[in-house]
A and B are shown apart, each in its own frame.
Chain A
Amino acid sequence: MKFISLLKKELREMLTLQTLLMLVMLIVLMGSMGGLMGKAADESQAESGKITICDLDDTPFSQSVLKYLEHPTADMQNEVNVITIESDDYAKELDKHDIKSFVILPKGFEDSIRDGKQAEIVYVSRMTSLSMMSNINAGSETAVQLIQAAVKTAMYTEKINSGKLTDDEVSLMEMPVYVKEQTIVADKQGEVSPLMLYSATYSQSLFMPLIVYILILLGSQTMVNAVSAEKLDKTLETLLSAPVSRIHVLAAKMIAAAVVALLNAAVYMIGMNKLSINPTADMPDDYNKMVEQLGLTFDVKTYLLIGVQMLVTMLIALSLSLILGAFARNIKSSQTLIMPLMIVTIIPFMAAMFLDISTLPGIVKYLLYAIPFTHTFMASDCILFGKTTLYIGGLVYQIVVLIICMGIAVKIFTSDTIFTASEMKFSLGRKKQKVYED
């Protein structure tokens, strides 16, 4: 009965409305992030069919190029908007037409082609931010490519007509080397480019570590606050002098923390699901088959393995915060106490985002491996790419760390360390003051 009361109290302390709201917000955020990314991709798809062009040459050839832009192939139709400009103050022209980019066929365009010189076109675009998605001017990119193709075709046609090239030679020159891309994932093989695969799993690799990071921080903060508040309000003194097992006091805290951790892990998995590859999206059919064939989809087993890793990670973070919280001297210091934990989380987080840790040079690699959270950030990579030994090794290491952390926590709570730990520093500080006074 006492234990149930303890557990209820800990849950009430840790699962405040605030933390629950935070978790809900995280799910919503991840959901909308997934939606947003999809929408951005769709938009740039639609944008690529909208071309704005200015024909200063105005010759039969330039006009035929415009026609070609509108209808380059049998099943491709573009919306071509022809504008006129009055000056070469491009900033003003962009404003006047209320567009972000356009392409100019300059005067003498046809002549230079006729003379066998390299022709020039002008691609005007306005850069509005440093973010990746915002500077793609899909329409103009299409136009530039199509104009290249049109000029090429015109030149080839000319050569063919004058009998200097055969049709076959032309098509060969179009693509002199065909790259047959074979990508191997673990031991599976598929005919697809790594870049394409990467772009499909991109949202996961970018956001998942971030979410792990947020969850670790959220959980640790909750625990440090709960423990330090209990210590500073001296409710802990009351509790530890009461006829209730100290192991129960600690166990209630850990179990409540584990519930919070489980909840976090669940949120993580729901979020991952929302962000993961949407197979119906605009990728070709056989591409999706390829992804599946390569084992790059998240099946139940993968989810479970990642979930286990996440749970162990949260428990480590929480028992570490339990220890850290025991050293709190005041409310402010409880916030600073969490700093070391943040640092050992952000280092592997950054490393895993930009590097393949397992290929780093020896010392750096093992230093990173020594941080238990590194293995969390590497888990999904390890599972997807068949690095089973690394995954299991990491998990075992994490469990060992967890047991040690829990052992320390038990020691602190069952001895009088929790009441003497922090104040040692306090009395040290006092002594210093005395020296100054003298």
Chain B
Amino acid sequence: MSQQQTAVLEVEHLSKQYKKGIYASKDVNFTVNKGEIFALLGPNGAGKTTTIRMIATLLKPTEGDAKIEGHSIKTDPAEVRKRLTYLPDEAGAYKNMKGRQYLQFMADMYADSKEQAAGYVKTAEEICKLGDRLDDKIESYSRGMTRKLLLARTIMPKPPIAILDEPTSGLDIINALEIRRMIRQLASEGMSFLLSSHNMLEIEYVSDRVGIIAKGHLLELGTPDELKAKYNAENLEEVFETVVNNKESMGW
């Protein structure tokens, strides 16, 4: 078995009902392998964040389970939390803190020793490229700066899997490109990523495999090339349109 085939995250029949009878996510199955970048692709309200929040141990699944390196989110959430980091979409940071204080605080949360925490902070400082601004209060940061700070925070402990909900939202093209390159680089070093986005082009560029999700259902799964070939499409946008239309005409 090659290294690529080791599953880091296995999602099995994962479902969530916020209200009885209405599934925000229904019977979702996929795996993310070591060093793989997997993207959930779907329109607003498709259930991406819901699925991600279940995996990040924040929401309890109504049905199904997910395992990170064999640890169940249902029975073993504490072990799961040691193996992932999570960046919520549209997240902020503690506004009263300075950038560096925030990194230090979050490093303390993930590290087992002072030395390790110091190492994390150093990594994050290099990744976020905020320089002297790290000594300013987060209050004074722009959206993009905050996003970069948070991304750096998410990546710094180099966990088995990083879960990023809309990682590049709010970033300009240059910064978004930089982030994508960084994700690719880290993946090649063996870190796995679970991303969500509705930006098809970004996904096509960055991810190894995608899952198309709409109305809570995972409709298609495959590499961008596989999917494009299967639907005889120019790009993922067309694939997405066809998949969703096909399903809708089948009447769900």
A binding-site residues for B, Cβ under 8 Å = 1-2, 5-6, 8-9, 12-13, 16, 229-230, 232-235, 237-244, 415-416, 419-420, 423-424, 427
Chain A residues, CB < 8 A from B153: 238
Contact call A241/B56, Cβ cutoff below 8 A: yes
Residue B7 lies at the interface, judged by CB distance under 8 Å to chain A: no
Contact call B96/A12, Cβ cutoff below 8 A: yes
Contact call A16/B96, Cβ cutoff below 8 A: yes
Residue B97 lies at the interface, judged by CB distance under 8 Å to chain A: yes
Sample 14 A-B pairs with CB under 8 A, ordered by A number. A1-B114, A9-B97, A233-B92, A235-B92, A237-B58, A238-B87, A238-B91, A241-B84, A241-B85, A242-B110, A419-B53, A419-B59, A423-B18, A424-B19
The contact of B58 among A6, A233, A240, A424, by CB within 8 Å, is A240
Contact call B106/A238, Cβ cutoff below 8 A: yes
Closest to B89 in A: A234
Contact call B108/A243, Cβ cutoff below 8 A: no
Q: How far is the CB of A426 from chain B (nearest CB, A)?
A: 10
Closest to B108 in A: A5
Contact A241-B81, Cβ < 8 Å, known A234-B88, A235-B91: yes
The contact of A235 among B56, B93, B114, by CB within 8 Å, is B93
A427–B50 alpha-carbon span in the complex (Å): 14
Q: Most B CB atoms within 10 A — which of A233, A238, A424?
A: A238
Chain A residues, CB < 8 A from B56: 237, 241
Chain B residues, CB < 8 A from A232: 92
Contact call B78/A243, Cβ cutoff below 8 A: yes
Q: How far is the CB of B136 from chain A (nearest CB, A)?
A: 16
The tally of residues in B whose CB lies under 8 Å from a CB in A reads: 31
Chain B residues, CB < 8 A from A5: 105, 108-109
Contact call A427/B86, Cβ cutoff below 8 A: no
List 20 additional A-B contacts (Cβ < 8 Å) besides A242-B81, A243-B78.
Answer: A2-B108, A5-B105, A5-B108, A6-B109, A12-B96, A13-B94, A234-B88, A234-B92, A235-B92, A235-B94, A238-B106, A238-B153, A240-B58, A242-B110, A243-B82, A243-B110, A416-B58, A423-B18, A424-B18, A424-B19
The contact of A233 among B53, B84, B91, B114, by CB within 8 Å, is B91
Chain A residues, CB < 8 A from B105: 5, 8-9
Residue B95 lies at the interface, judged by CB distance under 8 Å to chain A: yes
Chain A residues, CB < 8 A from B94: 9, 12-13, 230, 233, 235
Q: Which of B146-180 contact A (CB under 8 A)?
A: 153
Contact A420-B109, Cβ < 8 Å, known A234-B90, A234-B92, A235-B94: no
Contact call A427/B19, Cβ cutoff below 8 A: yes
B binding-site residues for A, Cβ under 8 Å = 18-19, 53, 56-60, 78, 81-82, 84-88, 90-97, 105-106, 108-110, 114, 153
Contact call A12/B97, Cβ cutoff below 8 A: yes
Contact call B96/A234, Cβ cutoff below 8 A: no
Closest to B22 in A: A427
Chain B residues, CB < 8 A from A2: 108-109
Contact call A243/B81, Cβ cutoff below 8 A: yes
A243–B109 alpha-carbon span in the complex (Å): 7
Contact A420-B92, Cβ < 8 Å, known A12-B97, A238-B86, A243-B109: no
Contact call B92/A13, Cβ cutoff below 8 A: no
A244–B60 alpha-carbon span in the complex (Å): 18
Contact A416-B19, Cβ < 8 Å, known A5-B108, A12-B96, A238-B88: no
Chain A residues, CB < 8 A from B82: 243
The contact of B96 among A6, A13, A419, A427, by CB within 8 Å, is A13
Contact call B95/A229, Cβ cutoff below 8 A: yes
A9–B105 alpha-carbon span in the complex (Å): 8
A176–B91 alpha-carbon span in the complex (Å): 82
A229–B85 alpha-carbon span in the complex (Å): 21
A241–B157 alpha-carbon span in the complex (Å): 14
Chain A residues, CB < 8 A from B97: 9, 12
The contact of A1 among B53, B88, B108, by CB within 8 Å, is B108
Chain A residues, CB < 8 A from B57: 240-241
Chain B residues, CB < 8 A from A244: 81, 109
Contact call B84/A234, Cβ cutoff below 8 A: no
Chain B residues, CB < 8 A from A1: 108, 114
Query: Nearest 3 pairs between A and B by C-beta?
Result: A233-B92, A5-B108, A234-B91
A233–B56 alpha-carbon span in the complex (Å): 17
Q: How far is the CB of A247 from chain B (nearest CB, A)?
A: 12
Chain B residues, CB < 8 A from A416: 58-60
Chain A residues, CB < 8 A from B92: 232-235
A16–B90 alpha-carbon span in the complex (Å): 25
A424–B22 alpha-carbon span in the complex (Å): 12
Closest to B79 in A: A243
Closest to A415 in B: B60
A234–B56 alpha-carbon span in the complex (Å): 13
Chain B residues, CB < 8 A from A240: 57-58
A423–B109 alpha-carbon span in the complex (Å): 28
